[in-house]
Chains A and B, each alone.
Chain A
Amino acid sequence: MPMNKSLSKSVMVAALLAFSFLLACAPGAAPQAAKQELRANLAAEPETIDPNKAAFSTQVTVIKQVFQGLLSFNQDLTLKAVVAKEVPSVKNKGISEDGLVYTFKLRDDVKWSDGQKVTAKDFEYSIKRLLDPALAAQYASFYHDIKGAKEYNTALGTPKEPKKPDEATLKSLRGGVAVKATDDTTLQITLARPRNTFLQLMALWATYPVRQDIVERFGAKWTEPPNYIGNGPFKLTEWVHQDHITLEANPNYWGTKPKLQKIVLRMFTDLNAEYAAYLNNELDMTRVPPGNEKQIIADAQFKTQLLRNNEMVTLAFQFNIAKPPFDNALVRRAIATAIDRETFIDKVRSGVGRVAYAWIPSGMPGHQPDLGKQYKFDVAKAKKLLSDAGYPEGKGLPLTSFQYADTSGNRVIAQFLQGQMKDNLGITVNLEPMETKAFQQLVGQKKFQWSFFFWGADYPDPDNWLPEVFGTDGGNNLTQYSNPKLDDVLKKAAAELDEKKRLTLWAEAEKIVIDDSPVVPVAYRERFFLIKPTVKGLKTTSMDATLPGDWFYAEVSRG
């Protein structure tokens, strides 16, 4: 077939054009941040930014900038008063002697971003709304110790025993919640039973004030700008769904005005994309995709941008101890002793994270640095434990399946565990990667055999860590571990009002758990971020949400 001239010519021209485009690609200039602007990646669209409904860290990061509660945390996670005049205590009569009645005195100069005054009524409305069963707030059960709260919040019953109350009943139940604004600057809350950590709960986002008139006027749309009225240092000016959120300094802010004029929260879902955006100066801070840490630590330029901080998150393996072979504590102890955590952190994780032997992470009150050291990596000891359990050299041990939600991080951990078991105990472990929700249901229904999980702090107290996970009726006791001795100590600790005695009791409880080993703590998480050196004054805590330092962005500046 002869050549078709015009056609081949046009193709040639096109190719030439494409090539010259590539040649013309002289390096451009990287994007720049505006003055006093902070650009960060929220990593996902926050599902809601309604303080009462929020449950996930992306949501909390936004809410913390726009709202402020009665109390908040200092950098060392002690409590400070924000909208409240002072942190209530027995001494200043803020807490009654029996630990049941809390009286919050509010500052009278606190304003909403539209200029109106923040009153105790706004807090009363917010807490009652939080407990409204129709709102179905996920953190509502944290506040069930308030008198009347549980009755109102569970008025619809449970999936197994549904109830059908009428409107009037619901209304009277709402009225029965013992949260009362006695005047504009006084909020009184009565508990049904003493709760030591109640003040910490009052520092969480779920109890931040919410404006009744706004919620009722705009309905579900109240969380869109400009309806989203808060009392914090920033206000929401733009929300392009699934793309970015823009916060700007709130001109009506009642406290020290923030130095940052603008915070842009992007929604890069891919970790490599986030990292690339940082390298292209589109972001001022980024996570580092796992696997790159070694290079970054070795790089002189990145070294000055590195931001590492410890988080109160424990990574652990959990056993289903209702089924053999994990019903045998010796098997569990053998496994706990056969995992080389030091190598895991130093080599596999390039030194990111801290080796864990105990459950309660360092940084939290009640952390015991020496607990669990009997499980320090020791192959001979592990083999002996396994043989004592009746499985010398792993012989006779039934094949176990390790289930995990498959992400690239978990995939490495699972294969590491599999290798450790094979090399150190001669045990073959079958890996079962699963889709995340399917895995969560399997674990929730206690049908798993052996799995990986992590537990993070909602507030800095063992109260949030022990009864829920290891108590016989703990809502997250998925190992089905049950020890009456432990239950007894947990009950005493929860009722103890003396701070010192309480911590001793928690320590005793944790020791029982570690001895019985229903879970094997492996590591405490560490945040590994890069941040532009021009960002000044960032203050991280071990309990930040999605972004490091997000409790204190009002104090950050660009220099």
Chain B
Amino acid sequence: MLGFRCIVGDAVRGGGRLLRNLPPVQSRSVRLLPPPHLPQLTHTCLLSKGPNASVSSAKLKLRTRLAVTLLLGGGVLAVWRYVYLEKQQNLRRQRVEQLRRVALGQGSFSLLDHRGQRRTKKDFLGGWLLLYFGFTHCPDICPDELDKLSAVVSALDRDASLPPVQPVFITVDPERDDAPALARYVKDFHPRLIALTGSPEEVKHAGRDYRVYASAGPKDEDGDYIVDHSILIYLVSPDGLFLDYYNRMKSEEQITQSVRSHILHHETLEL
């Protein structure tokens, strides 16, 4: 870092002195030096402060001086960029570490999908998930959110550089939402949407893992009721780790952008 400051200082204060110090042939062939060569530059920088500096007065063409200044400036920028990116990556690593310790989405689930097949959380490892909890008799919010979720997945599907994201719907109303009911329901949304149900205990367990609140309202004379529940879309990484959540206020574009950024910056954990 000391050598670094020295170069910058020289470039600002007396770049000319440094340039004059260099023989013409050598300065024409100066290359952009990568960070590991910094100590060598520091050496030159120290030399320029020595008695030799005042001795040599060979004039260089302005163009050469400019080229060297630009190269040095570019080098400084490259180092700055490298340090910046490294820092960002460290922050992301720290966030993943923190998320691993968060008591959210850590457990497993074992549920039946809308085709009647048993699915566990393990089956979904290795791919990205967007999870939503709701129920098929839901008046307006669930269909809205599932439409939004489907649109997000379709938008991500259009980007060939991204891996497919699996949309998953977990019912909070296992009493009415059996596999056939879910099979009818998923037809209205994204073709890859998987809906999950199970025994009341299994469903409760899956929901508790994501801190989902669900409470069935009073039944009317037809036995119909509304389930009040939390409305969040969860993003789960290929490591099975909860990464982010989106509430009702988040638009389709905002969610798509956020998921894309999570995927692009994701580092697989060494498990």
- A pairs with B: no
Contacts from B to A (Cβ < 8 Å): none
